[in-house]
Chains A and B, each alone.
Chain A
Amino acid sequence: MDSEAAMIALVDVNNFYVSCQRVFEPNLIGKPVVVLSNNDGCVISRSAEAKAVGVKMGAPWHQLRDFAEQEGIIARSSNYALYADMSHRVMTILSRFSPNQEIYSIDECFLSFDGLPQDHTELGQEIRSTVLQWTGLPVCVGIAPTKTLAKLANHIAKKQARFNSVCEWQKLSPSQQDAQMQALAASEVWGIGRRISERMAQEGIHTIADLRTANADQIRQRYSIVVQRTVHELRGIPSIELEESTPDKQQILCSRSFGQAIYTEQELGEAISIYIARAAEKLRKQGSVAGSLAVFIRSNPFRPKDPQYSQHILVPLTQASDDTLLLTRAALWVLKRIYRTGFAYAKAGVMLCDLQPRTAVQGHLFLQTADPIKRAALNKVMDDINRQWGRGSIRVASAGFNHGWKMRQNKVSPYWTTRWDDLPKTR
């Protein structure tokens, strides 16, 4: 295929979490709406109306409460079961439009338009209207010869109404392209973080146009090869490939802050058992085993007057495993060694490390414990039951039952698409 024909689209859902809520709560349309992070801590998604009244990304909700009341801002707790389902729908729809797809995040996806004969702007519009009709979610599309430019075109499609949500970079004249690049700060470029852009500003690189015309070799010397690639990409030279399959995770982390402080080893053990169960489920889903695991616990550093304690330990396992029961035992063994009485614990977590494919695991000549086939079958049954009847339907007893420490999610909406009892009602 002609390399000049390389063309990449970046499709992303506008204000994804808020937009998901609005599909099932039409009364939220046209109003300032925010979605809050775990524990109802910070703002993690804002509707256009919430942005317009000045709500900042990451704003702590407890500081915002009075202002929200005054402005009529509506808040929802994050509903990840809903977002994951809606994301899956969008990504599946997008996969129909191109044989090459890189799912970049829960609400963003690169598609290769290489060799697709259609007018690319028209194709972008078809993608936009299909996703909107099928799921109710609004998306923007940026189309360009490189991923970095596709990101930029997407940004322009989102901010400038005249593009009607789809911006094809190649349809802009060179002078229009230049004007767009001069109007945007270098920090708006994909992959240019705050620290790099601050340093660039000191060296006279302020806008995207500045960055594009910078000396690429010097950029490589002063910053990194990664930033040099970005400069090439801004010039339309593809330097970052489409990654069609996301590589398996190298570690799996599961950690949460508690809704209220907990004090006992037993309650910490319950939380850790639940996190291990989640992490082990993910582990099995990607067909890996963990060679080591870490457990950490800590008190609340934001309450400096309280006595503080924080500890974590990583232990290698004698043999890599994906067995929830075995991993739970190991994690509780670690907890016993790091737990100290007299502290108000605010957060705990587990990390599964040294992941390797299950098929690569060496047999062990001298170890003989429970029947491995039975254990694998048991874990599979556990996964199947939890998938069908809801997470945590079946679990190890150390996970406990009361969970007074569970996340605060006071404003969580029903799980409209993943639970029978939560289906939306129609009269």
Chain B
Amino acid sequence: MSLHLHPPIPAALEPQLLLLPLMGVSVSAGFPSPAEDWAEERVDLNLRYVQHAEATFYFTVSGDSMVSPIAERSIPDGATLIVDRALSAKHDDIVVAVIDSDFTVKRLYCRNKRLALVAENLAYPPIVMGDEQELSIWGVVTAWIVRPR
């Protein structure tokens, strides 16, 4: 692109266009902070709950298939899942899997050469993998967040 060159915009026309002098900017030097040597990094949820940042993704849970009578295993509708793809899924992990091109969150059963995806909610029957069927695990759930309000 070739460009016409216009003369500088006259200051009188548009005084606001002028950038401000950087000179004369003083930094106040007062007392050193007595707390400075004691400062620590603030606690960060990422450091505690995200092991592999580049492999971590978030999902929103939809539905009640993981609602359980056992409180600590229960994942309600609307919860945010933290999913780590760098981990290999093992027996009893909660995983995000792809079934018929849809994402599903279930507990992985993997014992005695039997493979199934189990809902925590007893109203949902387990999804049992046949011999021919391939199970596609998208990632392993490492934590979930539930907001009470």
Which residue of B3, B11, B17, B138 contacts A330 across the interface (Cβ within 8 Å)?
B17
**Shortest distance from the beta carbon of A423 to any chain B beta carbon, whole Å:** 5
**Shortest distance from the beta carbon of A288 to any chain B beta carbon, whole Å:** 13
Q: Which residues on A sit within 8 Å (CB–CB) of B85?
A: 133-136
B4 close to A333 (CB less than 8 A): no
Interface size bracket, A side: 35 or more
A317 close to B19 (CB less than 8 A): yes
Decide yes or no: A314 and B59 within 8 Å by CB, A364-B19, A364-B21, A372-B25 being known contacts.
no
Q: Which residues on B sit within 8 Å (CB–CB) of A319?
A: 18-20
How far is it, in angstroms, between the C-alpha of A29 and the C-alpha of B138 when the chains are bound?
14
Q: How many residues of B contact A (CB 8 A)?
A: 46
**Shortest distance from the beta carbon of A367 to any chain B beta carbon, whole Å:** 4
Interface flag for A321 (CB, 8 Å): yes
A427 close to B9 (CB less than 8 A): no
Contact mask A384-427 → B, CB, 8 Å, 1/0?
A: 00000000000000000000000000000000110010011111
How far is it, in angstroms, between the C-alpha of A416 and the C-alpha of B18 when the chains are bound?
42
How far is it, in angstroms, between the C-alpha of A93 and the C-alpha of B62 when the chains are bound?
31
A312 close to B19 (CB less than 8 A): no
Q: Which residues on B sit within 8 Å (CB–CB) of A133?
A: 55, 85-86
Interface flag for B118 (CB, 8 Å): no
29 residue pairs of the A-B complex, CB under 8 angstroms, read A26-B138, A133-B86, A134-B54, A312-B3, A314-B3, A315-B9, A316-B5, A318-B8, A318-B18, A319-B18, A351-B1, A363-B22, A367-B18, A367-B21, A368-B20, A368-B21, A369-B19, A370-B16, A370-B20, A375-B20, A417-B57, A423-B59, A423-B60, A423-B80, A424-B60, A426-B59, A426-B60, A427-B63, A427-B104
A residues contacting B by CB (< 8 A) are 26-27, 29, 89-90, 92-93, 133-136, 289, 294, 296, 312-321, 323, 325-326, 329-330, 333, 351, 361, 363-365, 367-373, 375, 416-417, 420, 423-427
B residues contacting A by CB (< 8 A) are 1, 3-9, 11, 14-25, 52-55, 57-63, 65, 80-81, 85-86, 96, 98, 101-105, 136, 138
